[in-house]
Structure 1
């Protein structure tokens, strides 16, 4: 099997030996809340270390634990506690965390989220716990107007003062079909393009990869080139509810290295799966927009997408990671990872684009691995399947202009387009459309929505296979799943 097929499977994160590839400060927003408490024993931590410490403290503190976040500027873990128990605070401080007393308990925040689910499951809405504010962050996209907006406002007010914040997004929530390295499929509705997330080994020992569930639901057979022969078949796909797919390579001898192509010949070796931590810097690789970074801003997010299969219905996905990292159509399924090589998420959907910014949601990798029984690591023969910089770049050549806005200076504008057989913004214009189109996106815009701004504009809109007739290039800011 050609080496590039294996590289595609990994979705773009290989051993980023060069720290310059990941810019911790790019796109970062510093927490404005001042944590209090004794800091004499506070430890300086990496994000993954902070995540592990947070998990330990959650168990030891019990109901007093009210969430945590990573202060990336100070490299410290901040732990929220309820109640004034000095022993509890001392326990957390001794472990090396900064302790902050807050009003809302984890139980109260979960109850508030339950009320939103019961009373405000409206297409175009989302909510997630934000431990930095100790509130539920509720977001409504541009489609939530009139009676639906009034209903959402009323529900948020009913939660009580200091329990939730409500903000309006300029875009529309949609799935983003696309990702790390591009993968393609043909359906009766037309072409579909997504991104590969991470190479894994399936429970039966065969080589496979993870991508978005809405991609796996939209199409069963996937190729590493537009109009190419299928090289992998969907084994499991979950959407809505969750958003992940396990796709097995048809050739059991496929070399599938555990790495991500970060552009410009750079790869990031993926060594483990890790849970996200609010405040940590993360990197997303996608076949449309390349490499971008930002911060985790919420966990256990619920997103209510306009249904792609049931006009007027809602596709609700739970347990997602909310970030301020941008994404566009074609980025769906792509890899979210950390600088130290931890696999964190698979691109699901969001609003906005990489010109104006927006919110993007990710399926946690840890949950996908647990559900599918897959493990991170080389599948098949493993080993020397080729560098993500060689094979991976073949398929994520589009979006060269997007890449220039990437968080990584080493991933320059030419990185993704130079080696690709589909280079530049016109990449997709002659072929596949966003998988969201094939699924019957009720918005009628399909992949064109997200690709309306930046280099992606031509990508999705030119194929004509989009049921909408190529999508609306001006809709890039809408909340979409990132197929």
Structure 2
């Protein structure tokens, strides 16, 4: 959708009020991990194919899996494991095995410790398989006693966690790509979907509440009604179309063309992704963390998010995160901007589809 009525409805973006994300860099550490000589060559894989293999190996390895990430340069899936027996399974499947110090269970325990002892507004944490740690980021509002408390908790976790400071402020992003409007707010359409055989679209949950009406222009006639919205905890919502306008499964690329979307997929650390939004249009970046917990303040804590280096600004919320023809996420929030750079957090699309009983279409 654009800012006017049109014969086709495209996928994208988000809306109405707030700001984008923090720059939390990734430090590549070698102290916690080592690569072993492999008997089997790693298969060259696309990022999406690597994500599928990661899901399969995660089930096969169980507790022996310590996370995965995509090596874009080598086009291979790197799988962290805790012993040589597990490494052999990875190699036979076509992945690159890497024996690391911290298990996923240990990193999960570290996250639980952070939740119990350091639930502070303006913080986020996510597992980074490249560093084999939980990366904790504090925005500029975390200072004084809160910063001291957070630092002490992270220090006590030893090699399981690392602390970073952001110059920005974590906020949900309101507004976005092909703009959608409700009342005085503007958000972005994420992806067109089908639920119960009827056309809908998904966007960020913080954009509005169930029962709110949405238009593709400020003050325009409603094109749909939000039937379900989840925020905080999750950050996704679904709107049922109420008009007969076409709604192809596409993302607006803002260059006169669009990207067809044929399926939804899981993010993988190292995956190259693009974001489309009405404020800043199309930008690209890389997935740096998964299962991120973000505390936006005022009790608004969202879990299970994708962390990336893609920039975003107010007006991009709810918009599309995608890799080729695969829907990956919905823009949630973060800090920074598209001049100086920043990071964003995204609600995974597969989770939203499962919650709503919907599919891409």
Q: Same fold (TM over 0.5)?
A: yes
1:111 to 1:38, Cα distance in 2 relative to 1, 3 A: same
For 1:362, which of 339, 346, 355 is the aligned residue?
346
The answer to whether the aligner puts 1:11 opposite 2:8 as a matched pair is no
Cα gap change, 1:236 to 1:299, in 2 (>3 Å): same
CA distance in 1 between partners of 2:36 and 2:72 (Å): 16
The alignment partner of 1:48 has SS state of helix
Q: Does the alignment pair 1:320 with 2:313?
A: no
Residue 315 of structure 2 corresponds to residue 330 of structure 1: yes
Matched with 1:73 is: 73
1:264 pairs with 255, 264, 276, which one?
A: 255
Pairing of 1:216-235 with structure 2 (within 5 A):
216-217=208-209, 220-235=212-227
2:48: which partner in 1? 48
Shift of 1:231: 1.3
**2:241 maps to 1:239:** no
Give the Cα separation in 1 of the matches to 2:103 and 2:28: 20
Distance 1:283 1:130, change over 3 A: same
Tell me, yes or no, if the aligned pair for 2:127 and 2:291 is still in contact at 8 Å: yes
Cα offsets for 1:331-350 (capped at 9, x unmatched) = 000000002x1000000000
Within 2, Cα distance between the matches of 1:3 and 1:205? 24
**Distance of 2:296 and 2:7 partners within structure 1:** 32
- Counterpart secondary structure, 2:159: coil
Please identify which structure carries the higher helix content.
Answer: 1
TM-fit CA distance, 1:326:
0.3
In 1: Cα distance, 2:180 partner to 2:290 partner: 28
**Equivalent residue pairs, number:** 345
Q: CA deviation at 1:154?
A: 1.1
Shift of 1:35: 4.0
- Displacement of 1:29 after TM fit? 8.5
Unpaired segments ≥5 residues, structure 2: 14-24
Give the counterpart of 1:151 among 149, 152, 170.
149
TM-superposed deviation, 1:4: 2.4
SS at match of 1:344: strand
Is 1:250 paired with 2:242?
yes
Q: Residues 236, 155 of structure 1: CA spacing in aligned structure 2 closer, same or farther, 3 A cutoff? A: same
1:23 is aligned to: none
Q: Offset of 1:5 from its aligned partner?
A: 6.5
Instruction: Tell me, in whole angstroms, the C-alpha distance in 2 between the residues paired with 1:92 and 1:99.
Output: 6
Aligned to 1:174: 171
In 1, distance between residues paired with 2:76 and 2:204? 32
RMSD: 2.0
Residues 185, 219 of structure 1: 8 Å contact kept? no
* Counterpart for residue 286 of structure 1: 277
Which residue matches 1:125? 123
State the match for 1:38 in structure 2.
Answer: 38
Q: Given the two structures, how large is their TM-score scaled by the length of structure 2?
A: 0.91
C-alpha deviation, 1:62, in angstroms? 1.4
**Partner SS, residue 172 of structure 2:** strand
Higher RCO, 1 or 2 (CA under 8 Å, sep at least 6)? 2
**2:209 is equivalent to residue 211 of structure 1:** no
Change (3 A) 1:155 1:248: same
CA distance in 2, matches of 1:193, 1:225: 9
Q: For residues 144 and 192 of structure 2, what CA distance do their matches in structure 1 show?
A: 45
Shift of 1:36: 3.6
Asked if the contact 1:299–1:322 (Cα under 8 Å) also holds between the matched residues in 2, the reply is yes
Distance change (3 Å), C-alpha of 1:193 and 1:39:
farther
1:40 deviates by 3.9
Larger Rg: 1
What is the TM-score normalised by the length of structure 1?
0.69
Match of 1:135 among 133, 136, 143: 133
Higher strand proportion (structure 1 or 2): 2
CA contact (8 A) 2:307 2:344 kept: yes
Q: Which moved more, 1:28-37 or 1:347-356?
A: 28-37
